[in-house]
Structure 1
Amino acid sequence: MRVMKKLWVLALLLPLTAFAAEVPDNLEPLPEPPPPPPGVQDEAPEPEVTITKRGEDTVEEYRINGELYMMKVTPRVGKPYYLTKEDENAGWSRNDGVAQPISIPKWVLFRF
């Protein structure tokens, strides 16, 4: 029991030692980083979202650089779901948003 009390006191006093450390007087601010090279973007591009009605369903199309990569389908009745493009040659896979989508390997072994 005495050991536990000592450990608790040590655990409470250990963070206080960080505040007691002295800061040197000769600190200088870091220089500004150089600008990024030309052609490099700082941020990821924002997707372009187009909302359309198909019958009673609402479809939101997400595009980056003009390429359609995801669609969100909101039916009139039921939960919305997502259609994502797996790769350029494959079709669309459905994702209900609850679990990670299953990625099926699609290796090309032979071409005739």
Structure 2
Amino acid sequence: MTTQLRLALGTLLLALCLPLSAQDNLTAEPEVTIREDGDRIIEEYRMNGFLYAIKITPPSGAPYFLVAVDEEGNFARADQVQQGLRIPSWKVFEW
């Protein structure tokens, strides 16, 4: 009985610790990659590997942002996206 209880407690502790170690890999700050494309500067903003925004600074004029509108890799200018709340849509389960 004592061995089974220890095994059950050990399994429970292991199950509780696994989600914490998986969350350690997630970063709280975005990764920013800056590169030049011809005469303009492109800054790519990623969070946990997902590209969610691109800032383009042309040689003349104001910089503008492209933001992800879906998970398919489609982007739209931030000033042309319909004003309002963008609701995040994360995949919770997939099989």
Query: Aligning the two structures, in what range does the TM-score lie when normalised by the shorter sequence?
Result: 0.5 to 0.7
Give the corresponding residue for 2:35: 52
1:79 and 2:59 are equivalent in the alignment: no
TM-score, length-scaled by structure 2:
0.56
AA partner of residue 64 (structure 2): Y
Once the two structures are superposed, the pairs formed by residues 1-112 of structure 1 within 5 Å of their partners are 38=17, 39=20, 45-89=28-72, 91-96=74-79, 101-102=81-82
Larger Rg: 1
Alpha-carbon shift at residue 65 of structure 1 (Å):
1.2
Higher strand share: 2
Runs of 4+ in 1 over 4 A off after TM superposition: none
Number of residues paired by the alignment? 63
Extract unaligned runs of 5+ from structure 2.
1-15, 84-95
Counterpart CA distance in 1 for 2:40 and 2:30 is 21
- Structural RMSD (CA): 2.5
Gaps (5+ residues) in structure 1?
1-36, 104-112
Higher relative contact order (CA 8 A, sep 6+): 2
Q: CA deviation at 1:89?
A: 2.3
SS in structure 2 of the partner of residue 82 of structure 1: strand
- Identity percentage of aligned residues: 43
More helix by share: 2
